[in-house]
Structure 1
Amino acid sequence: MASGRFYHNAEHVRATLHALDSRGVLTPALALAVWGHDLIYDARAGDNEERSAEAFDGWLASQNASADLRGEIRALILATKHNTPPVTRAEALLVDADLAILGASAADFTAYDAAIRQEYVHVPGLLYRVGRKKVLRGFLDRERIYTTPEFAELEAQARENLAGAVGRL
């Protein structure tokens, strides 16, 4: 993974895998999707998930993965755009695991929030604050941040973390 990744890096992959595994829901397809979901991450681009899905699909094809598996992994990776509700249970689990950091301890969330700011250091302060508030409020405005029972216990802490971050912006 390239430099300039302060959050979307190998530690995020490890944490996402752990979030699924510790809840007993990690499948081979989910593991592959976790490895591929942030394969390409450019804070200046808006098509990271599409590019990651394409690159990972190329790798899966080179490994002679079935068309069904490749389609499933592509859909899982694209679900991590977080712009539409997940369609399948596997998508919901991956999305919840990807967002698990929102419901982490206050200290871990603060470190995550600082790492995201580092990834977007190219964005001037005022523009960053406006954009970041919009993203964080988007999660707060959801009826539920976590849609699976396995991650429901993170909801209250996530809301507290997000509200605090919005307030600080």
Structure 2
Amino acid sequence: MATPPPAEREDTNHPHAELRNRWAAALEEARAATDEPHSASDPAPSPYPYADNLLARWAEPQRRYHTTDHLIAVLDRVDELAAHAADPAAVRLAAWFHDAVYLPERSTNEERSARLAERALPEAGVPQARTEEVARLVRLTRDHDPRPGDTNGEVLCDADLAVLAGSPEAYAAYAAAVREEYAFVPDDAFREGRAAVLRHLLGLPKLFRTPRGARLWEAAARHNMATELELLTG
């Protein structure tokens, strides 16, 4: 992420004004832990150019599911689960970065997204330790299998997977959007690859690791995925 231009003011007429402000609040929260605050002569850079860079990434034309709507949904779920996390600020930033780099034909999206965070966050005034935690969390979304006791990872992974527990109609729309992102893949190959993803998730001892996620989403998500898997392989 290139160095943003000089500080910009909040733009209340921006089409993503609320999201930009959510990013600004998350960045301010994350900066607060630093032991080396910017001096008055070297102020922290404006958060808004960073927000605009990220939002442009989330709006790229190849995306059908991994869009700003998905970002909003994950941020909302993180807010819902935040009390479970050891460092909610890091989790919120990880939500912003977790699909910031997304090319459906690549298998390196999580790694590239993590590296983007490693470049951008120190420049934006986030302490190194928290930057490293954000990058770790982004990489964790490749497999969605946090270690026991990794409360930050549990919150981010649960928030990212919450879409699996939607109503049958919402889940069908999600599955259709995923297929659109992989429109370049022939049907047989897509069914095989998608079935492998579903089997991996269904094979996890638990899909949702937070108490709230396990209580509210586990059964519905497993039902939805089992139904999709049956349709794919039936």
Match status 1:162 vs 2:225: yes
Q: Which runs of 5+ in 2 are unaligned?
A: 1-56
Higher RCO (CA < 8 A, seq sep 6+): 1
In the alignment, is the contact (CA less than 8 A) between 1:34 and 1:94 conserved in 2?
A: yes
Rg comparison, structure with higher value: 2
Give the aligned partner of residue 40 of structure 1: 101
Q: Secondary structure at the match of 1:143?
A: coil
Q: Which runs of 5+ in 1 are unaligned?
A: none
Q: What letter corresponds to residue 39 of structure 1 in structure 2?
A: A
Correspondent of 2:196 among 116, 120, 134: 134
Match status 1:21 vs 2:79: yes
Match status 1:149 vs 2:215: no
Give the aligned partner of residue 9 of structure 1: 67
Q: Secondary structure at the match of 2:176?
A: helix
| Offset of residue 48 of structure 1 | 0.3
Distance 2:82 2:218 in 1: 19
Q: CA RMSD in A?
A: 1.3
| Offset of residue 159 of structure 1 | 0.8
Give the aligned partner of residue 92 of structure 1: 154
Normalising by structure 1, report the TM-score.
0.95
Correspondent of 1:116 among 178, 185, 188: 178
141-150 or 118-127, larger mean C-alpha shift: 141-150
Correspondent of 2:167 among 90, 93, 105: 105
Distance 2:140 2:212 in 1: 18
What per-residue deviation string (whole Å, max 9, x for no partner) do you get for residues 142-161 of structure 1?
A: 22111111201201100110
In the alignment, is the contact (CA less than 8 A) between 1:39 and 1:56 conserved in 2?
A: no
Distance 1:21 1:62 in 2: 25
22-31 or 45-54, larger mean C-alpha shift: 22-31
| Offset of residue 64 of structure 1 | 2.7
Give the aligned partner of residue 123 of structure 2: 62
In the alignment, is the contact (CA less than 8 A) between 2:82 and 2:155 conserved in 1?
A: no
Q: What letter corresponds to residue 194 of structure 2 in structure 1?
A: R
Q: What letter corresponds to residue 102 of structure 2 in structure 1?
A: Y
Q: Secondary structure at the match of 1:4?
A: coil
What per-residue deviation string (whole Å, max 9, x for no partner) do you get for residues 119-158 of structure 1?
A: 1111100000011011011111222111111201201100
Give the aligned partner of residue 139 of structure 2: 78
Percent of aligned pairs with the same residue?
A: 35
In the alignment, is the contact (CA less than 8 A) between 1:36 and 1:53 conserved in 2?
A: yes
In the alignment, is the contact (CA less than 8 A) between 2:81 and 2:155 conserved in 1?
A: no
> For this pair of structures, how many residues does the alignment match?
168
In the alignment, is the contact (CA less than 8 A) between 2:93 and 2:134 conserved in 1?
A: yes
| Offset of residue 55 of structure 1 | 1.0
